[in-house]
Amino acid sequence: MSELTVRLTDLAHGGGCGCKLAPSVLQKLLAGQSSAQPYAQLLVGTETGDDAAVWQFDDEHCIIATTDFFMPMVDDPRDFGRIAAANAISDVYAMGGKPLMALAILGMPLDKLPVEVVRQILQGGASICAEAGIPVAGGHSIDSKEPIYGLAVIGLAKRSNVRRNGGARPGDVLLLTKGIGFGIYSAAFKKHALPADAYTEMIGSATLLNRIGETLAGSEHVHAITDVTGFGILGHALEMARGSNVGMDISYGDVPLLAMAEELAEAGYVTGASGRNWDSYGSEVRLPPDIPDWRQKLLTDPQTSGGLLVACAPEHADALVSEIRAAGYPLARTIGTATNGPPVIRVT
């Protein structure tokens, strides 16, 4: 079998973070499984759906541990590996940490894919790990019906630099570091409707490491961080609102978008996960009465290796945006504010 006889995306029923279980399903599965006690050193567990687990091992330092894997959203095996690795490492950056090493998670239908294609997936992931300055120190592999790849990642952070998805304060400004629209682009790609320049944009965004998170966590003016992945910008903002016990106002016009995101969404290139996301948390979101359905789907669009959502002191927001852009995130901008009140997202 040659590499060109089968598309990776044809071997998977879904792709990227669009494969994640819906938020409502995940809540049911985790109900009653609190991890907080009796482990006093476990600073962050499953309580608020945060990005990674955090374990304090001495007075100053914490270990960060996470895992992330999914099925392909692109056909180029190296691109798939690069995206999956960047997405997994992002959880460590979102907690304010520095990645130390990774373990590969691999499931492949070897009766359908040549070994060389699988090798390219692993090489793609390893190249992103090298960019992050960490080794792939081992892992585990199985023969599976669908292609699966990802990483378990271990990181390190100062105790004072750990940032949770809770911690936002009323009056904080919300920043987003990358554009929205990955799920829409991937839906168009699967239907052979994504132009070559848009594909390049999608890969560039998804393989851009969120290493700025480690820098932001060193600022006392940054109060909360999370990365935006499978639940969409509304879902991850709602997790931050719940964890912080604040409301949030988001301006649709200020949300950064990939260049063709609106055009493709309006044309109907959306994922099934977008609808599942809305069904899970739409009751806690207030949208303008005249908003088009396709814009709603854009706001619930599942991101794969998306940007960081950051809550910071308002007087420092402009300076932080400038710092983020200078670090290589040109679409970074302010998108809203945290408010007093119940954890509800209001979109204007």
Positions marked active-site: 17
Please state the separation of Cα 187 from the chain's center in Å.
Answer: 17
**Pick from 332, 98, 86, 26: which is nearest to 207 by CA?**
86
* Number of CB atoms found within 10 A of residue 192's CB: 7
> For residue 116, what are the CA distances in angstroms to 106, 112, 143, 178, 306?
14, 12, 15, 33, 29
The C-alpha angle with vertex 44 and arms to 40 and 47, in degrees rounded to 5, equals 105
- CA-CA distance, 172 to 22, in Å (whole number)? 28
**Pick from 98, 108, 213: which is nearest to 157 by CA?**
98
Q: Check: CB of residue 209 under 8 Å from CB of residue 102.
A: no
Residue entry with tokens 């792709």: 15
Helix (H, G, I), strand (E, B) or coil at 254: helix
Q: Check: CB of residue 304 under 8 Å from CB of residue 183.
A: yes
